[in-house]
A and B are shown apart, each in its own frame.
Chain A
Amino acid sequence: MKYRLDYLQELEAEAVYVIREVFAQFQHPCILFSGGKDSIVLTHLAAKAFAPGPLPFALLHIDTGHNFQETLDFRDALAERMNVRLVVGYVSDSIARQTVTEESGPNANRNRAQSITLLESMEYHGFDAAMGGGRRDEEKARAKERFFSHRDAFGQWDPKNQGPEIWNLYNGRKNEGEQFRVFPISNWTELDVWEYIRQEQIPLPSLYFSHVRNCVKRKGSILADSPYLIPHPQDEKVELNVRFRTIGDMTISGALESSASTVAEIIAELKEMNQSERGGRADDFRSESSMEDRKKEGYF
């Protein structure tokens, strides 16, 4: 045996350590499950952290009502396969309660509304920490995120007043009503996640792989055609061979034209690609700091 870890082993060991710290330091933590590859990898790591025992966290999914059917089917199958409790918070319920007002206008989406539904769901179920698949390489505002990220009683993130995080000694102390978001795969890049998926042979929703789909071309982006998409005059409807690089709400997840149909082909494609991961996310285009602004409000 060589007494050195390779980079994936080191990232895995770090993530599992963080997940076990969450279990030890919080009363009622959950995994925020989006159906995307990062939260799937996180769930896989959490299962490893407690093997051969059961996964001790519920999965919390915030459903905008505009999800891909493939995501929902995958989510339900995964929860059943892993024998884990699935909790769903619906944005439509928040709208009905009038705690969320539906956006209007041609670029309306439910992305910001998710933050409110998330906070309401955490409060309703009594979750005091939510682990997410957020990674620091995703976006500028995330580059400064802690592993253990404190949220005040209103779920707000204060980037200028984050506690220091030294060595791997995480501090999850908080007052009643406050919560934490925890990001065990903070140090992974998009490519690391894919290499790990390949190594571990982790199943993913079919959306990640090349398929034929009715799409809408809009301002250089390709979106899935769906009843939830508000038509624009310049929209061009086309059938394309696409796959999704990130999976979220159908109205904002940009597709890319690709013939990559296996994990190995996706990795090869990623290495050649000259666009960042969130390049197709319509929500990040709103302004230079839109992710930061959403995070301050409680977004993941």
Chain B
Amino acid sequence: MNNTKDILRFTTAGSVDDGKSTLIGRLLFDSKQITQDQLEIVQRISERKGMKEIDLSLFTDGLKDERAQGITIDVAYRYFQTEKRKFIIADTPGHLQYTRNMVTGASTANAALILIDARKGVIEQTKRHSFIASLLHIQHLIVCVNKMDLVSYDQSQFEQIVASFRDFAAKLDIVDVQFIPVSALNGDNVVDRSQHMSWYQGSTLLHTLENLSVANDINQIDLRFPVQHAIRVDDEQLKDYRAYAGQIASGIIRVGDEVLVLPSQMQSKVTSIQGMSGQVTEACAPQSVSIELSDELDIARGDMFVKPMNQAESMAQFSAMLCWMSAKPFVPAKKYVIRHTTREAKMMIKSIQYVYDLNALKRMEGVGELKMNDIARVDVQLSSPIFVDSFRKNKATGSFIVMDEQSNETVAAGMIF
């Protein structure tokens, strides 16, 4: 059995026209992930639409309304695997009005796949997608220059696009960018190497996805253990058992470690760690475990275990980047609820420093409101502190959501840095 197979989660962004659905369809089709019955359904629909060849985009276009309109309206998740990896694709629509979907898809991704139409080059939408990937601190960007068949597989066209993308991306916070010339329609450099672009020496898309190194994506340095709930047992076999269940957000915890519990600042020692397959002596993020301590402390959901010499910052007042996701605009005097790890508090947005203009990629100051899909830097005040690291250093403790107490909706996603 292959025990080293891991998961790569990536998000794809692109518009109706640049062939994103076709590219994913091609990836699934050429890596033999499409079954006979799925193929037959798509063949039937393609014929009804009067198409000569099968429409690869139909493998991913999900809901009834979307199929009628021919566009993707919500994040859809796709799965495939090779011998090396399991892949989870968050397929998101690319229009401006769907920034919230892009943020949703990007929030769980290790990598972002950006599509550029070889005929059009870097356009506003490319910049918007790349900006969001950088904002959500996605470490790896794979830029697919698609429709190379429509520019006669021209090397100089590809290189111009690469140069102009690099030019623009220099301003963003992105660690690793790779460029691949592809034709999703014909299958060039998606799974199989292109016969038309001998000038391209790099990897195919699938090979790139299989070999991206995601080892550093999870912070294994700073222990952060948000408590989900306490497990208590007191019966014949187990006397007065009390453990704290949660998923390790970052770092490593070992039996014998001294830990500090936030917010009480009480210190104790780890006496046992219950993993998913029994007792273990150490555990790392993102394992779900339950932890016993040597002292009987008053610990509840929302508390966090850290190391005494490496604490998260306790904050009730801070500035953050916010992506507004509700159709109802932000109301200045209103009290919202923040959820950060397993902790909740009341929250007020005191001021908007600026709203980011995603088209011009510049800040707009003096804006008094937040509408759906706006990205803004705001100052907030909480009713009680949360335990924070910079989002750049630790995604799990640098991120939060904002909920509306009346409507119950999630109205915003936030990042602290």
Contact = CB atoms under 8 A, between A and B. Distances in A.
A, B in one complex: yes
Interface of A: 1, 3-7, 9-14, 16-17, 20-21, 23-24, 48-54, 136-137, 140-141, 143-144, 159-160, 162-169, 171, 173-175, 186-187, 189, 191-192, 273-276, 279, 288-289, 292-293
A135 to B, nearest CB: 9
B229 A7 contact: no
B339 interface: yes
Nearest to A280: B37
Which of B100, B231, B288: most chain A Cβ within 10 A?
B288
Given A143-B62, A163-B409, A171-B401, A13 B37 contact: no
A52 B241 contact: yes
Contact of A169 (B86, B241, B401): B401
B73 A160 contact: yes
Given A7-B86, A164-B413, 4 more contacts: A6-B4, A17-B286, A53-B241, A143-B77
A171 B410 contact: yes
B215 A276 contact: no
Given A14-B286, A21-B228, A24-B229, A289 B64 contact: yes
Given A20-B288, A143-B62, A166-B401, A4 B6 contact: yes
Contact of B62 (A5, A10, A141, A276): A141
6 contacts: A10-B6, A51-B290, A169-B340, A171-B403, A279-B37, A293-B64
A4 B64 CA distance: 39
A6 B37 contact: no
B410 A13 contact: no
Task: Give the top 4 A-B pairs by smallest Cβ distance, nearest first.
Answer: A173-B408, A16-B288, A289-B64, A17-B247
Interface string B72-83: 011111110100
B246 A20 contact: yes
Interface stretch (B101-109, B143-151, B310-318, B351-359): B101-109
Given A14-B286, A20-B229, A20-B288, A159 B63 contact: yes
A143 B76 contact: yes
B361 interface: no
The CB with the most chain B CB atoms within 10 A, among A12, A49, A166, A274, is that of A166
A164 B323 CA distance: 11
B43 to A, nearest CB: 13
Contacts of A292: 63-64
Q: Which of A48, A169, A186 has most chain B Cβ within 10 Å?
A: A169
Contacts, number: 172
A177 to B, nearest CB: 13
Contacts of A167: 107-108, 395-396, 399, 401, 413
Interface in B2-17: 3-7
Interface in B22-81: 35-38, 41, 45, 62-65, 67, 73-79, 81
Of A171, A189, A279, A288, the most chain B CB neighbours within 10 A belong to: A171
Nearest to A187: B88
Contact of A12 (B245, B276, B342): B276
A133 B92 CA distance: 24
Nearest to B35: A276
Interface in B376-417: 395-396, 399-401, 403, 405, 408-410, 413
A143 B232 CA distance: 37
A276 B80 CA distance: 13
Contacts of B232: 53
B264 interface: no
B233 interface: yes
Nearest to A165: B104
Contact of B274 (A24, A51, A293): A51
